[in-house]
Amino acid sequence: MNNNQKINCTVTTCKYNKNNQICSLEQIMVTPKANCTSKNPDESMCSSYENVTH
């Protein structure tokens, strides 16, 4: 992975969301949603998400 890449996060309930959308993870895992074949962004989800309270 290129050192200049950035991961942004606009989900405020995510524990990795830091300082205005900056994500503290070095990488994310994206997985398909079950039974979704729309070929649109809603077909996937971020499996690296963790709630702030965890």
The predicted structure's pLDDT at residue 54: 65
Question: Please, which residues have CB within 8 angstroms of residue 31's CB and are 6 or more apart in sequence?
Answer: 44, 45, 47
| Average of per-residue pLDDT across 34-48 | 84
Residue 13 pLDDT greater than 60, yes or no: yes
The predicted structure's pLDDT at residue 2: 61
* CA atoms of 36 and 41, how far apart (whole Å): 10
pTM metric for this prediction: 0.61
* Containing structural domain, residue 14: 1-54
Query: What does the mean pLDDT of the chain come to?
Result: 84
* CA atoms of 7 and 19, how far apart (whole Å): 12
* Number of domains present in the structure of the chain: 1
The predicted structure's pLDDT at residue 18: 87
Chain centroid offset of residue 22 CA: 11
| Average of per-residue pLDDT across 24-53 | 86
